[in-house]
Structure 1
Amino acid sequence: MLRTIVIACAIIGLATTFARADDRPVKIGWIMSYTGPGAAAGAIADAAIAAFQKQNGVLVAGRKVQIIRRDTTGPAPDVARRIAQELIVGEKVDFLAGMDYTANTMAVAPLSTSAKVPLLIVNSATSGILAKHPYAARFGFTTTSVAKELAIYAAKQGLKNVYTFVHEFEPGLDAEAMFIREFKAVGGGIAGSVRAPMKTTDYSPYIQRIKDAKPDAVFVFMAAGELPSIFLRQCKEAGLDQTTRIIGTGDIVDEANLPTAGDAALGVVTAFHYTPTHDSAVNREFAAVYSNVAPDKSLNFIAATTYDVLHAIYFAVEQQKGELNPDKTMETIKHLNFESPRGPIEIDPDTRDIVQTIYFRKVEKRDGKLVNVEFASVPGVKDPGSAR
C-alpha cells in the first residue's frame, strides 16, 4: 500500500509539473500607440495579431501566447520607459515587442538590455539604434536603406537636381543625409533642403520654396499618418505636381491614408519594404485572413511587420520547446530567415537588423481604388548605417 501511495504521489507530482508548464503563458509586452497621433498603428497591429493567430493558433510548444498591450500615446519616451518597466518587473514578460517611434524605442532598449528581455522592433526606423542593445532586433526598416536605393533610382531615371523635404526628427534627418550623400555620389545635384516640424499642417511656404528652386524632383520623407496626405494635396493645389516629380519613402503614401490623399497621390513613386498588392502566395493568404478579421482596417507595413515579429517569437519558442532562455532566443532570432508577406527576409547576425527586398512602387488607380503597384525591386538590402 505504501509503495502504491508513493507511486501515485509521484505521478500526481509529475502531472502537476507538466500542468504548470502548460499553464504558464508566453507573455509578450506589446508597446505601441493606441491613442494620440499614432493610434492607427496600434489598431493595425492588433488586427495583424488577430490574423496571425487565426492562421497559427494561440498555443506554441504547449504554451498559450498572451499579448499584454500598453499604450504609449504617441512619441512619449517617459511613458514608454515606465510601461516597459511595469511589463518587465510586474508582468514578467518573456518578450517586449511593437515599438513605433524611435524616441520610445531608445527609452525602452536599455531596460531590455539590463533585464535580458528580447525586444523585437516593428517600426522605429532610425539607423544604428541596435548597436548597444544585444537583446534588440529590428523587423521593420530604416529610412537610410530606402533613401539610398531611391537616390540610385533617381539618378538612373535621369533626374539631375532634386530638392529634399523631410520631417524634422531622427528618421527624417537620416533619410535626408543618406539621400543627399548617395545622390551626389552618382553625379546628382541637390537644389535645396528643408525640414518641417512634425506638427506642421500648412506646407505652403515649403512648397513655394521648392517651386522657386525648379528641381526635377522632390524627395520626401514624412512619418506615416494623415500629414503626408495634407502635404500631397497642398502640392497639387499649388501645381507642384505639374512641374516636379514627387518621390519618397513609402510612408508618404501609406495605404491607410491614400483615400485621404485622393488623386494628389497619383503617380507618386516611392521605395518601401512592403506593398499590400505584393504578388506572393504568403501575402495573398495573409491579406485574405487579415481582411476577414479586420475588414475596416487597411493592410499596410505595420501589419506585415507585426506578422513577422510574431512568426519570430513562435519560432523561437518552438525551437526551445517552450522553455525560454533569452540568450538562446537571441541566437535563434539572429539567424532567422523565412518567407514573409513582404518577401524573403532575414536578420543580419552581426547587427540584428533586417535584411530584405526594397520595392519601387507607383500609385495607380485600379477598380476605382488608389493602390501602390510594384514595378522594380532590389533584393538583400541591409541598413547602410550599421551594415558591416
Structure 2
Amino acid sequence: MNMKKLLAGAIAALSVMAGSTVTAHAEDTVKVGVVIPLTGGFQSNGRQMNAALKTFIATHGDTAGGKKVEFIVKDDGSVPDNALRISQELVTSDKVSVLTGFGNTPTALSVAQLSKRARIPQVIMVAATSSIMKASPYMLRTSWTIPQVASIIGKWAPENGAKKFVSIVSDYGPGADAEEWFGKTIEANGGTVISKLKVPLANPDFAPFLQRAADEKPEALFVFVPTGAGAAFMKQFVERGLDKSGIKVIAMADVTDDDLINNMGDPAIGVVTGGPYSANHDSPENKAFVEAFKKNNDGMRPNMVAAAAWDALDLIYKTLDKTKGDATGDAFVDAAKGIKIQSPRGPISIDPDTRDIVQDIYMRKVEKVDRELYNTEFQTFESVKDPAH
C-alpha cells in the first residue's frame, strides 16, 4: 500500500480529532496501542518488547493515574507501511490515547506525522536514529540513540589500545549514524578509521566485508548490526579465522545481544562493546527485573530492547500518575519531560528540551559467568545525552 495514500488518509481521518478537544482524560480507561515487529526482519526485537510488556503488567498491574490501562498489541511485520496503517486504526477505531513500541527507525518515522497531527504521544521503545525526534513534538524515547553509544566507544577505544579501525555497519539510518559518530569521535581522540564498509540490511552476508576488512590489517573492527544479527556476524568472523588474527572486535551492544550471546559460544569471549544495558548489570532493580522477566517468559533472558520497553511502560505509568490519568497529547508530553526513573539499567531521565533519553553508557566485555556468557560492565560514562542534538 502506498505510504503517501496511507498518510493522507490518516491525516484526513484525524483532522477533526486534531482540531477538537480530545477527552481521553475524562474516560475510565486509557488505551495504549503497542505497535511491534512480532514477525519480519526485526522480530527478535518484537519478541523482547512483548515479553517486557507481559512482565510489566504482571508486576505493576493495569492501573495508573487512577485509571485502568488497556494495551492493544499489533504486529507491524517490521514494515513501515503496516506500522502507519495499524497506528491509524488504533487511533481512529480503537481510540487509543498513546502509541508505543516501534522496533526500528523506519516504523517509528512512518507514524511520526500521525502522532504530530493527531497530538498522540508516541513513546519510542527501540528506534535509535538520532534525528527521528524532530519528526513529532509528541515523541518521547526511552531506548538509546546511536550517537549516544558510538561516540562513547570512539572516546574509549584510542585510550585503551586500539587506534586503527575498519568500520562495518548495516546500510540504513542507524548504521550511518554509527559510522559517522564513531568516526568523528575516534579521530578527535587520536585514532583513525582506514576503511568504512556498509553491509546490506536484508539478508546480510558478512563474509566478503570481513575479508576486505582483514586485508586492511586494522587493529580492530568497529561493528554495528541490528539486534539479532550479531550471531551471524560472529559466526562468519570465526569461520574466516579472524578470531585468531589478533584483530579485535569493538562494537555497538547490538552485536553481543544478551538474548543470543550464549549461542555465539566461546569465540565471543573478550569482545568489547558499548551500550546502555547488560542483563548482568549489578543493581537491585535489575536483579528484580531479570528474575521477573525469566519467571514470566519461560526462562528467557532480557536484553537492552526489553529494558527499553520496560522503561517506556514505566514512563507511561509514571506520566499518567502525574497527570491523574490525563493522556491528552500536550498534558502527557509536558508531564513526561524531566521525569527521572531508576531503571534496571541505572538512572535515566527524559531531557525536557529534546524529549530524548539521558542515561549511563557502559563499556562491557563478554565473559563467562556461572557457565553462561554475559556482557560484563567494566566502565561507566554517566548521564550521557545524545551528542547529535
The structure 2 residue matched to 1:365, chosen from 360, 364, 368, is: 368
CA distance in 1, matches of 2:260, 2:171: 21
Query: Does 2:101 correspond to 1:104?
Result: no
Question: What's the % identity of the aligned pairs?
Answer: 37
Runs of 4+ in 1 over 6 A off after TM superposition: 20-23
Query: Does 2:58 correspond to 1:54?
Result: yes
Q: Summarize the alignment of residues 1-388 of structure 1 with structure 2, pairs less than 5 Å apart.
A: 24-74=28-78, 76-225=79-228, 227-242=229-244, 243-386=246-389
Structure 1 counterpart of 2:226, one-letter code: A
Structure 1 counterpart of 2:50, one-letter code: D
Q: Residue 300 of structure 2 aligns to a residue in which SS? A: coil
Q: Residue 131 of structure 1 aligns to a residue in which SS? A: helix
Q: Residue 96 of structure 1 aligns to a residue in which SS? A: strand
Shift of 1:132: 3.5
Q: Is the 8 A contact 1:23 1:64 kept in 2?
A: no
Cα displacement string for residues 236-265 of structure 1 (whole angstroms, at most 9, x for unaligned residues): 122212220001110001012113322221
Q: Is the 8 A contact 2:290 2:301 kept in 1?
A: no
CA spacing shift, 1:201–1:264, aligned 2, 3 Å: farther
The range that moved more, 140-149 or 46-55, is 46-55
Shift of 1:343: 0.3
TM-align CA RMSD: 1.6
CA distance in 1, matches of 2:351, 2:73: 28
Q: Is the 8 A contact 1:164 1:176 kept in 2?
A: yes
Larger radius of gyration: 1
Residues matched between the structures, number? 365
Shift of 1:22: 9.6
Q: Residue 129 of structure 1 aligns to a residue in which SS? A: helix
Shift of 1:201: 4.0
Gaps of 5+ in 1: 1-19
Q: Residue 134 of structure 2 aligns to a residue in which SS? A: coil
CA distance in 1, matches of 2:290, 2:100: 22
The range that moved more, 280-289 or 256-265, is 256-265
CA distance in 2, matches of 1:23, 1:47: 28
Q: Residue 151 of structure 2 aligns to a residue in which SS? A: helix
CA distance in 2, matches of 1:95, 1:314: 11
Q: Is the 8 A contact 1:165 1:219 kept in 2?
A: yes
TM-score, normalised via structure 2 length: 0.91
Q: Is the 8 A contact 2:342 2:348 kept in 1?
A: yes
Q: Residue 215 of structure 1 aligns to a residue in which SS? A: coil
The residue that corresponds to 1:16 in the other structure is none
CA spacing shift, 1:29–1:228, aligned 2, 3 Å: same
